[in-house]
Every structure is written in structure tokens, then in C-alpha cells.
Chain A
Amino acid sequence: MSAFSPQPVPAAAPSAGAPADVAAKPRTLWRDAWGRLRRNRTALACGAVALLYVLVALVGFTGVLDRERVIDGLATPGLIDQTLGKSYAAPALRDPATGAVSVGHWFGLDFMGRSVFWRLVFGTRVALTVAFLASVIEIVLGVTLGALAGYFGGKVDAVIVWLFSTVNSVPWILLMISFAYVLKGQTAFGHELAGVPSIVLALGLTTWVGLCRLIRGEVLKHRDRDYVAAARAVGAGEARIVFRHILPNVFHLVIINFALGISAFVHAEVTLSFLGLGVTDVPSWGRMIDDAKLELARGVWWQITVASIAIFIFSLAVNIFGDALRDALDPRLRGVD
């Protein structure tokens, strides 16, 4: 017997469709997008900034901000401006009265002796609440109506297109004014509808149009695709096809719209509050700018500056992140399908 006895060759089982790619995790749209986003340093930085604002807004919900600090004014006012007779104070590291380091004084005090810093924090909470809630209304209305219009066509489509064309044709500011007037003094579920609820409703009920148009176009494109016909051939009903089959294929657009829309909503809130149509009872970024507009001539610069910078940085961060998100989620750049 030779020293070399060959080992028996293990019988290989014949298999169809031998697995060629041994990828650890399947490449989905979300994984691809996340990978692309991670490589974009600027976008990540902007995302971090936006997250910071969210954290600040959450602080705004805690009890740290009591009424007298932000709404009613300090019990011990700052220095009284001799010429103006009001309780301004320039930004300072320490509370002039006590000498201790006081965060509330870092951005100064406004004409009622209220801490600009804490008003800014509260304004962050208001801005993000408005942006988020209005987005929810916009998404629910826009996606549902857009999907129904795009999928069913015919009369359903005609009605919805008529609806959003009409809403879209009315000048936005007029719609807002009418909402503000109608809802003033009304209550629902024990809450007053003026102020934040009113803006949220007004914004949500006017911005759904853009998203609706977008979703309608996308659903129209997907409705004639083969996978829809295949799903129908397997016995899926219409509702199931629209919401479970088509919608996940267009949902990335909703995400992009949401990210970019936040900035738009914040701007809208600022404009409305500035015009006196928005938040009236609690501080918001728009209110701060509104309150401070006359002070600039008298050399009181801190409130309007701080509020404007805060809005600017937030918008910039959200816009850059939103654009990066759009690039990351673009199916054409994916290279698959």
C-alpha cells in the first residue's frame, strides 16, 4: 500500500442556484442610505446639531422653566434702565443682584426682565412641537389622499385634485389669518385652540397639498408595475396593495419631505407669531423677534440677535441634513433594481 492514500472526496450535493453572494446582511434601501450618510461628515455634524436642538426642546418640557422666568418676569428684576424705565439687562456672566453665575443672565434680560436664555429654550420647545405636530397632520393627510388619488384614478382622483388645487390657490397667509380668527376663543378637549394648536392646525391643513401631489405622482408610477399585478394575482385586495405594497416603495420621499419641512414650519411659525397670528401667550422664537423689533433702535440687541442666530443655525443644519438624506435615499444612486 502506498504511503499516500487519497482521502475520499465528499459527495457534493447538486444544488440549483448556488449561493454566490455571502453578504453578511442584505442591502436594503435603509442600510445603503445609512452607509452613504455616514460617510458625509458635514451631514453628520448637521444631524448632531439638529439633535442638540431636540434635546434643548426636551429640556423645555421639564419644570426648569417656570412661568415667572419666561412669561411673567423676574421677581427681582435686573438693573432698571434709567432712560427707558424698563427692566433690561445686557448679557452678563453673573446675576448683578447676587453676583453668582446665573445661566439665565447669559443672554441678558428683555424689557420685562425676563431671561432671554430661558425664553430661547422655551421657544425651541414651541418651534419643534409646532414643526413635529404639523408634520404629522401633513403626512397623514397628504399621504392618504395622495395614495388614494394616485391608485384609484377616475372620480376619486378628480375630487382630490380639485381639493388640493383649491387649497393651493388660496394665498397661504390669508388661510392662516382665517384659521387664526376662527379658532380664537374656541376650545376643544379642555385646551384653548388659540396659540400653538391653532398654528399646528393651520399649517398642517395647508401644507399637505405639496406632499399629496408628490405621493400621487409616485403612486401613479408604481400602480402599473409588475409587482402590483403579481400581488393582485395572488389575491391581495386593493387596500392592501396600496398601503402595504406600494407605500413602502414611496416612503423614502415622505422622510425627505419631513426633514426639509421642519425648517419650513419653523419659519412659518416665526412669521405668524411676528404677525401676531401665532403664539401669543407663551414665548416663541417669533414672539421674541416681535418683542424685540422696537428695541434695536435703542441699542438693545441681545434678544433679537440670539433668536435670529438660533433660527438660522437650526434651519441651516436641518436643510443640509435633509439634502444629504435626499441624496442618500435616491434610488437612482443606489445601483440596484
Chain B
Amino acid sequence: MATPLLEVKNLNVAFDTERGQIRPVRDVSFSVFPGQTVAIVGESGCGKSVTALSILRLIPQPPGRVLGGEIVLDGRNLLALSEREMRGVRGKDIAMIFQEPMTSLNPVFTIGDQIAEAVTLHQRISNRQAYAVAEQALRDVGIADPGRRLHEYPHQMSGGMRQRVMIAMALSCQPRLLIADEPTTALDVTIQAQILELLRKLQRERGMSILLITHDLGVVAENADVVNVMYASRVVEAATVEDLFDRPQHPYTEGLFRSVPKLGQKIDRLETIPGTVPNPARFPTGCKFHPRCPRTRQLAAAAPAEQTMEAAAAGERFRVMRVCVEQEPDLREVRGRHWASCHFAENYPQAKPTAPQLDHHRPEVAAPAAAPDLIATAAKEEYKP
């Protein structure tokens, strides 16, 4: 197996709030291999953005604190670097693009100024050369007339174009890992498709890895090689994208798939996962998903009484398996290259708790043949009345 580009090991992050300490990231481990697209999926509040920001150490230190764990890039633990060394990593080895392109650019500087700054922060080149790099970066992300765009201000561009500019800025120093935090959530669907295709193209050209944070399973299905599903600050399932969609092991993942409406379905109500995401200040005991979990309720209905107990959620009372309330399951390799944290996943009792290592790439789809340039061929033909 190749060496991973980035390894996150047992990351634990805490926030000190007035209501006590909350832990948005608990014992999170995953790896990103070169050229891979790793997706982190989850609902709002599950800890995926905090994980991404922690990799670049962008969490403000009061009130945030990294309690433990390692983030290893090239053999260096990023959590142990000084702030100055970390600044050398940000933008250069690892770059990040954010969710809101409309506000991620400084309104009083031109696009060219901002991209050129990203370049000069990490390389000793003249301003003129930096502008040339910026122009090329704009061309690479598909912006027409880049020479003119360099002198424009962010408010003169649409959301899709601003996101392209953000990507250009992020890629200007050739990073090996791009962290994309919900890059298309704020854009409309057609632009979303364009941006994702752009990211795929740039990834192929540069052999770059992408850590894609999203809540959209469609985006995951089309773009990811490996998926980590997060719930309540932990990774609850990790697998290759094909395995995840074929045989989800964790009831939460199953619930997510069931809630996606499908064409041709004839139903009266959309399916949801009943209940709400738990408040990090008041997590339930044991498995954090147990109050909403259909699997544990089903098993409890058929199990002998001493293995079950009563639980309550949202005003309802129901019986669940005792072990789900008493013990929080850790992440174990329940099938080949498929990790899950559920006491009742296949093989769970015999499985080993290891950190997920998935060096997997989705099979290459042959690039579609270039669309025939009808206009050019028509121009060459003679018109014969």
C-alpha cells in the first residue's frame, strides 16, 4: 500500500463555552492518499467543518483547543508545528476553499491583487511574475479574458466565477491537498456541476488530492473515491464509495440513503430519520445514534428482555438494545476495507478497531470524445444550392 499523503490520527478538538466544554471532534481518524478524493459526509453540526479547519489549524485557539491526536503530512505532525511554520503550509502544501464565494474575497482589492498575494506569500518572485502566474491560474480555471479579469473587483463577478477565483487562488501554489468545505452548497445546480467538473479536471492534471466536505450524497456519488460518514463528532462509517453505496453498514448511513427521494417513487411522505442531531453539550450515553436508530429498536423487539432497556426521545418511550445505551461502539473493520461503528454491524464483535486506510481510486471512466465542432465543419463545407 502506498503511503498516505495526509493521516489524521485520533483527532480530538474541544471548545470551551459558557456552558462548559463541548467536543465537536472526537477520536477522528482517516487518511488521504495521493490523487484521491476523500469525502466527509454528515449533517450540519456533526463536526466535519471543524475537522477540516483543524487540519490547517484555523480554529481560533481560545475558545478552541486540540486535546490530542496527530495530523501527519510528509512525516511532520502539523499540530506540533509553530504558527510560522504552519503559515508556510497553508496555501502551499494544503489549500482550502470555503463555502461562501460571495464573501470570501476582499471587496477592496482586485482579483489580480489577491491571487498575486497568495503567490508572493510563498514564493520569492516579483510582482510582475506573480501577476503572470495569477493570469495563468485564472485561465486554468476556465475564466475567459483573464487579463482583464485580473483588474476587476469581486463585486463585478457572479457567484460561480468567484468560486472559480477562489479555486485559482487556492491552486496558485500547486498544493498537494485541496480541502473543499462545501464548495458548491451556495451555488445553483448547473454551476455546481461545472465547479465539480473543474475540480476533477484539475485533480487529474495535477495529481492533487481533494478532501471534500459535503452533505450532498449526489456529489459524493459522482466525485468521491472514499467516504467517511460523520455523526455526532465521530466517524461512524468509512468505506470506498462503491462499498458504501452498495452495502451500508451503519443504520445512520442507511437512513441517509432512504431519505434521498428517487425518481419514479410513488410515496405520500418523504422518509426522514426521526429525531434531531444531538446537542453536543448533552450527548446521549453509549452510541450517540441510539435514540433515532431503527435497527436497535427492531432488534430489541425480538430480543430477550434482559438485553434491552427503555429509552426515551422526543417524548416517545421505546425499547432499545442495552449495549447501545451503555457502550459507545468504536470504529472497526467489519468487512474488507469497510469500517463501521455499530454493535450490530456484520461481524462487529470479531472485528478489529483499526484506523481506516483506504487507498482506493474509483475506476477511470474514459473521457468522453470531444463534441464535434459542428460550426467549424459547416464553415468548411461549400454551400451548394
Interface residues, chain A, with chain B CB atoms under 8 Å away: 1-2, 5-6, 8-12, 15-19, 21, 23, 26-29, 154, 225-227, 229-237, 245, 248-249, 336-337
Encoded as 1 (CB less than 8 Å from any A CB) or 0, chain B from 112 to 124 comes to 0000011001100
Residue B344, interface by CB 8 Å: no
The distance from the CB of B369 to the nearest CB of chain A, in whole angstroms, is 16
User: 7 smallest A-B Cβ distances: which pairs?
Assistant: A15-B144, A235-B91, A8-B379, A234-B91, A226-B103, A235-B90, A16-B142
> Considering the chains assembled together, what is the distance between the CA atoms of A33 and B95 in angstroms?
36
> Considering the chains assembled together, what is the distance between the CA atoms of A21 and B149 in angstroms?
11
What are 20 sample pairs from A and B whose C-beta atoms fall under 8 A apart?
A9-B379, A11-B373, A15-B145, A16-B144, A16-B164, A17-B144, A17-B161, A18-B144, A21-B156, A154-B62, A227-B103, A229-B98, A232-B58, A233-B58, A233-B98, A234-B170, A235-B87, A237-B87, A248-B108, A249-B106
- Name which of A11, A26, A235, A245 has the most chain B CB atoms within 10 A of its CB: A235
A17 touches B98 (CB 8 A): no
Residue B152, interface by CB 8 Å: yes
> Considering the chains assembled together, what is the distance between the CA atoms of A38 and B378 in angstroms?
54
Given the known inter-chain contacts A9-B375, A154-B62, A249-B108, please indicate yes or no for A17 contacting B142, CB distance below 8 A: yes
Residue B376, interface by CB 8 Å: yes
> Considering the chains assembled together, what is the distance between the CA atoms of A8 and B380 in angstroms?
7
B107 touches A249 (CB 8 A): yes
Encoded as 1 (CB less than 8 Å from any A CB) or 0, chain B from 147 to 191 comes to 010011101111011001010011000000000000000000000
A17 touches B104 (CB 8 A): no
Interface of A is mostly: loop
Given the known inter-chain contacts A16-B143, A26-B153, A248-B108, please indicate yes or no for A11 contacting B90, CB distance below 8 A: no
A235 touches B122 (CB 8 A): yes
Residue B92, interface by CB 8 Å: yes
The distance from the CB of A244 to the nearest CB of chain B, in whole angstroms, is 8
The distance from the CB of A56 to the nearest CB of chain B, in whole angstroms, is 35
Residue B227, interface by CB 8 Å: no
Number of A-B pairs whose CB atoms are under 8 Å? 110
Residue B283, interface by CB 8 Å: no
The distance from the CB of A19 to the nearest CB of chain B, in whole angstroms, is 6
> Considering the chains assembled together, what is the distance between the CA atoms of A6 and B378 in angstroms?
11
Residues of A with C-beta under 8 A to B164: 16-17
Residues of A with C-beta under 8 A to B155: 27, 336-337
B104 touches A226 (CB 8 A): yes
B385 touches A230 (CB 8 A): no
Residue B194, interface by CB 8 Å: yes
A29 touches B142 (CB 8 A): no
The distance from the CB of A20 to the nearest CB of chain B, in whole angstroms, is 8
A227-B107, A230-B169 are known contacts; what are 5 more A-B pairs with Cβ within 8 Å? Answer: A16-B144, A26-B110, A227-B103, A232-B90, A235-B122
The distance from the CB of B36 to the nearest CB of chain A, in whole angstroms, is 21
Residues of B with C-beta under 8 A to A226: 98, 100, 103-104
Of the residues A12, A19, A248, contact of B148 by C-beta under 8 Å: A19
Residues of A with C-beta under 8 A to B121: 234-236
Closest chain B residue to A331 by CB distance? B107
Given the known inter-chain contacts A227-B106, A229-B58, A236-B117, please indicate yes or no for A11 contacting B376, CB distance below 8 A: yes
A227 touches B104 (CB 8 A): yes
Residue B96, interface by CB 8 Å: yes
Residue B241, interface by CB 8 Å: no
Of the residues B95, B98, B109, B376, contact of A248 by C-beta under 8 Å: B109
B106 touches A245 (CB 8 A): yes
- Name which of A5, A8, A227 has the most chain B CB atoms within 10 A of its CB: A227
> Considering the chains assembled together, what is the distance between the CA atoms of A100 and B152 in angstroms?
62
Of the residues A5, A19, A233, A248, contact of B90 by C-beta under 8 Å: A233
Closest chain B residue to A223 by CB distance? B60
Residues of A with C-beta under 8 A to B161: 17
Residues of A with C-beta under 8 A to B385: 1-2
Residues of B with C-beta under 8 A to A29: 108
Residues of B with C-beta under 8 A to A237: 87
- Name which of A18, A230, A336 has the most chain B CB atoms within 10 A of its CB: A230
Encoded as 1 (CB less than 8 Å from any A CB) or 0, chain B from 71 to 108 comes to 00000000000000001111110011010100111111
Residue B11, interface by CB 8 Å: no
> Considering the chains assembled together, what is the distance between the CA atoms of A100 and B64 in angstroms?
82
Residue B56, interface by CB 8 Å: yes
Residues of A with C-beta under 8 A to B157: 17
> Considering the chains assembled together, what is the distance between the CA atoms of A17 and B89 in angstroms?
31
A234 touches B194 (CB 8 A): no
Residues of B with C-beta under 8 A to A18: 144
> Considering the chains assembled together, what is the distance between the CA atoms of A116 and B152 in angstroms?
54
Given the known inter-chain contacts A18-B144, A229-B58, please indicate yes or no for A235 contacting B88, CB distance below 8 A: yes
Residues of B with C-beta under 8 A to A21: 156
Residues of A with C-beta under 8 A to B105: 227, 230
B143 touches A233 (CB 8 A): no
Residues of B with C-beta under 8 A to A232: 58, 90
Closest chain A residue to B108 by CB distance? A248
The distance from the CB of B174 to the nearest CB of chain A, in whole angstroms, is 13
> Considering the chains assembled together, what is the distance between the CA atoms of A12 and B103 in angstroms?
33
Residues of B with C-beta under 8 A to A230: 98, 104-105, 166, 169
A17 touches B106 (CB 8 A): no
Residues of B with C-beta under 8 A to A28: 108, 153
Residues of A with C-beta under 8 A to B375: 9, 11-12
B117 touches A234 (CB 8 A): yes
